Structure 1
């Protein structure tokens, strides 16, 4: 909290001084408004690939409970919500990629990476709160060469709300719901032609999916904009995020899941804490009408720690001895009996504290030219990025070890790994305009150096030289796309690009006993992504998009069990995406609008192309990839009344899914009882929302329900069986001024 205040004071001081300097300049300067447009270009019709924009109007009308609901109408996206109560740790899979912690989907906020560490630990334990978001951009096509590194799937950019331009503005809202859910949000700002400032404060808390799983999230942000001259603009943003949740990362065995799908006897003790501080500074230099130099600098300081008391779902320990009942890891319990909250309260467990610091600077030049005798828009840029990661683990048998400070003061770490990453990225893209055609070649080069130092592993100190490794890799990632606009309000597009996901350093080395470390064989994932499609608003009141895609990964990285990973050879993912909206009010020129929105993904191919020589890894040629459902669909029927009512009801559908390969080849007893083996059955969820903003009123009212039928369903077996969220209904009021 003390550091956050310092950051805010520093930003206020900088903006105040800059504002004073600007006021001393000639008062006759005519200033131009600067609009932050996110990762998509201004000419959307020239984008040579599939994209989606969830705008502010859609977010206001739908009132999504989490990012999962906000993106449910976007084709090609699969969410797996496991231990997470509110999609705080996103699990997003794009076009058949494994959703686990969104590691193959690049997450951004105003173009700044959001992972714990984009290269060293691309795990999504944070996403921008929707209350701060103006719109969400989803990009799956060849335009990804401008961003990186996790681009084998797609990109999602959260564009935050801009600073007010016309005086004092803001909003306050309050939300309440079942499962003890409450939310408070305030946004206050002031601005004029010279710039302005905005403060955003948020708190949400409630009960999670399972019993004893409470969560409390706080988010504070301050954003300022200063228009120094008609050419120079500064935008600064600082934020502080804090999460304190009770979360059991281990699921349930078959027996206990059958008794109570939502039980978590160790839930009162299992915790997940996350503190994140970030700062982003953008300088926009409008050199000429069609030449702009944008430079962003960012810094993120994140710390997360989890404590768990169970690590063997259903008693599974890899020895064909599962009982269907989860075991307390650091505490004896009678064989064949379920442990209780009282036993858990008197036991220890394991802490996983990890800290992440990363920073980067990225100048980017956007300009129009006729260098080749053809009208063109070009982008060239460079990013320098550094990461400093510290991973530790502590274990203890007594209740005293439930306190992290006690564990750190009274024991040596079971694991201690230091990771440093230096990454340089170079990119360029040019769009040629030739009549109705827009042709866009591009290229990205990733130059990465990773230093890994295993100081302790398996409780032993490591002094072997092999425990310190330096890994260097350079990847050239081209892309090419074409868009044709020969039909009114219609774009036909096609493109191909190379995607890249570097291996996490924690997977590169496997500790093998005392004073020994062995270099792993894990190689980065590289993909070739093809697509062809059409988006159209040719018919009045009807918008449609259809995309056929094919993705080939050269050497996919899979979880082979026990927290280790390996390359599993080539995989192929192919499918058809359909999405659209029909507004009958627009078609029939009436203010009473009945509308239908729908999206559908048919992932007809998502399979391994190579059989692993190690049978226990479970990788078999032709078998389906994990968590890649064949069918994903969402359809909503809505009605908008001229008095300010927007009401909708809809269904989201996910077809059957397969677990990770190693979970498909467990020994018979483990397969039957651990909860790890078996498919994830299909399910459909009913959702509804109503919002009402009376004409000429500053107040709006809303109510939203997810899983309205209160369906009980299984969502994952990654660490045991996890049930999906029960019915969640919440409503509230928002006042704008």
Structure 2
């Protein structure tokens, strides 16, 4: 189907369906009013009582009280969410939901104002970028059947970062500066102007500092321009252009067992290792408020990203627990040796674009008051992966490596994906029923042009993977008690097939490498996700949510030190609890003491079948799936504008592989990850009537040493991080 045909179909839906709705008289259609023109790009409705699934919202007030250092800290208050402190600033974001592997957030859909954020949502769902908290107004998390409206990742959950809107009342903005230990420095400036006809807003920020391990310094910069034009009461245009740049000395491999025991924070090759990332994005949206009952929103987006990583260690701990220089055989990795050796560069280019019309309307077509959503998305990706290696120290320059180094690998991946979805919510008394359907149709072409330094001509070096999946969902909600919703839902989850990080180049029984490359790609993941829960604000000052969940995978994908493979059937089940008590409203006083808590008990996370080829045994626990996650905080808010909080985050022990290996090996890649508890605190002061606010925040207060990952070796968690700042708003 051509792009013009797809666009015509969307426009046809936008003309025919509204006509059917407008034909109804007001007397036959009295009910829920649609949300007003959505200028915040929120994915959750303003009225949550009809949402038949588990959700969480971290609003601007909560973000200001907590003062999280990165997105990771902000999300720890959400039950079911597991974040990993592999690096200081979350530059390689690791988020897992309900027992899914958190590595690079590959099974959690990340969005900014409804636009996907991955390097490539289908071809390489890795999170090397997330929206800076300075630009975020609220964070929305969806884990239930509402995922039918979004994709392609629907097996775990979805996180949407809603950015601040353009000002409506003249000139507005803010300037903030932050400093902290570990040489952290940052500033952010925001200025905009707007009125009845719309407005424009500019965001600028820069952050730099040291990473978890010595030598892991980072420097990120971002500029974002956002605009809005209110053509008339029916038509609104939104636009956003962004540019992001990262230059960091981040080592992608961890430490061997001996190195870690000597010093868990060392990084022998950090001075030479690099990670460079440049990202350009454009997002456009047209909102057509046809009438009070019908809204047609059309979104278009384009992202162009280049990332290049340089590493000098490929197999940690390979020399008796110490690491070997990858291109200098037998040489132990040390800072001195790293200066005299080369390594491997992995430059990768990603381009993707898409268009998505979505029609929201209310109707009585089935004789029942209903709210419906119908839409589709057309999406394309173009990915180029290259690799250069050389032992010459001049190979530390990408330009030199391109020209003189060994050209080891070149892979081209092209994706064409079409997504269709429809959902209808029937309102019957205190009940609402929401059936939904999503259809994913994708074609992923992979072509290996170069492997092991040889051009590839064999048929196995080309693979076209056509996948089509119908993904139904159904949810129900009951609102028979004031400010309380009981909900239940089930939906079919799906994640596209993904390639291994490295090619499979067998020895071909003595033949040359020219005709040996084989494209490895996993089978797609499919799951059935169940939920049963309740959320309530029935009592003054008390809010809570409790959810039972179960996820059954037909064929889960497991990662083993960069290699992805299908692990067969699995089951995850657990309970999520979250709540907040504010004693100020309860006691009717302006002095508010509050308690927040979230807890996840993942009591089941196991393989259901043996797989001798991958050393998986039925009943083994899934890797990186801690049984217990707990986040608690105690806070106090004073009416003069002062608030303070202290909290703790606990993560129970985990396995690092499907074999559930308990004994550590010399590479550090096998063995358990012990449990750990981290303490944090924050203070804020904004005098009444003042435009200036002051804040202080700290994480890992006790400076505890802890292990967070064994992917590519042992990774220590972050040291104590303290930062203070000032913000002036106008």
| TM-score computed with the length of structure 2 as normaliser | 0.93
Match of 2:110 in 1: 107
Q: Which runs of 5+ in 2 are unaligned?
A: 1-35, 507-512
Q: Which digits, 9 at most, give the CA deviation of each residue in 1:306-362, with x for residues without a partner?
A: 0000112111xxxxxx5111111112455xxx5321111010000000000000000
> How far apart in 1 are the matches of 2:723 and 2:673?
28
Matching of residues 360-509 of structure 1 within 5 Å: 360-506=354-500
Query: Does 2:670 align with 1:647?
Result: no
Contact 2:173–2:192, Cα closer than 8 Å, also in 1: yes
Match of 1:731 in 2: 724
Match of 1:719 in 2: 712
Query: Does 2:263 align with 1:260?
Result: yes
Query: Could you tell me which of 308, 322, 326 is aligned with 1:325?
Result: 322
- What is the DSSP-based 3-state SS (H/G/I as helix, E as strand, rest coil) of the residue aligned with 1:443? strand
Q: Which digits, 9 at most, give the CA deviation of each residue in 1:539-587, with x for residues without a partner?
A: 11000100000001100112345x4332111000000000000000010
Match of 1:584 in 2: 583
Number of equivalenced pairs = 689
Contact 2:257–2:667, Cα closer than 8 Å, also in 1: yes
Query: Does 2:56 align with 1:76?
Result: no
Query: Could you tell me which of 209, 219, 223 is aligned with 1:206?
Result: 209
Following superposition, the deviation at residue 466 of structure 1 comes to: 2.4
> How far apart in 2 are the matches of 1:438 and 1:401?
62
Query: Could you tell me which of 133, 149, 156 is aligned with 1:130?
Result: 133
> How far apart in 2 are the matches of 1:521 and 1:456?
17
- What is the DSSP-based 3-state SS (H/G/I as helix, E as strand, rest coil) of the residue aligned with 1:550? strand
* RMSD of aligned Cα (Å): 1.4
Contact 1:450–1:505, Cα closer than 8 Å, also in 2: no
Match of 1:569 in 2: 568
- Pick which of 510-519 and 677-686 moved more: 510-519
**Counterparts in 2 of 1:519 and 1:726: CA distance versus 1, 3 Å:** closer
- What is the DSSP-based 3-state SS (H/G/I as helix, E as strand, rest coil) of the residue aligned with 2:161? strand
**Counterparts in 2 of 1:354 and 1:282: CA distance versus 1, 3 Å:** same
Q: Which digits, 9 at most, give the CA deviation of each residue in 1:508-538, with x for residues without a partner?
A: 9734333124454721000100000000001
Match of 1:544 in 2: 544
**Counterparts in 2 of 1:108 and 1:194: CA distance versus 1, 3 Å:** same
Match of 1:534 in 2: 534
- What is the DSSP-based 3-state SS (H/G/I as helix, E as strand, rest coil) of the residue aligned with 1:661? coil
Following superposition, the deviation at residue 444 of structure 1 comes to: 0.3
Match of 2:681 in 1: 688
Contact 1:559–1:662, Cα closer than 8 Å, also in 2: no
Contact 1:34–1:233, Cα closer than 8 Å, also in 2: no
> How far apart in 2 are the matches of 1:33 and 1:479?
27
Match of 1:287 in 2: 290
Contact 1:618–1:664, Cα closer than 8 Å, also in 2: no
Q: Which digits, 9 at most, give the CA deviation of each residue in 1:86-108, with x for residues without a partner?
A: 11211100000010111100000
Matching of residues 623-702 of structure 1 within 5 Å: 623-661=620-658, 664=661, 671-702=664-695
- What is the DSSP-based 3-state SS (H/G/I as helix, E as strand, rest coil) of the residue aligned with 2:336? helix
Following superposition, the deviation at residue 43 of structure 1 comes to: 2.2
Contact 1:659–1:679, Cα closer than 8 Å, also in 2: yes
Contact 1:396–1:407, Cα closer than 8 Å, also in 2: yes
Contact 1:608–1:621, Cα closer than 8 Å, also in 2: yes
Following superposition, the deviation at residue 613 of structure 1 comes to: 2.1
> How far apart in 2 are the matches of 1:74 and 1:503?
28
Following superposition, the deviation at residue 436 of structure 1 comes to: 0.4
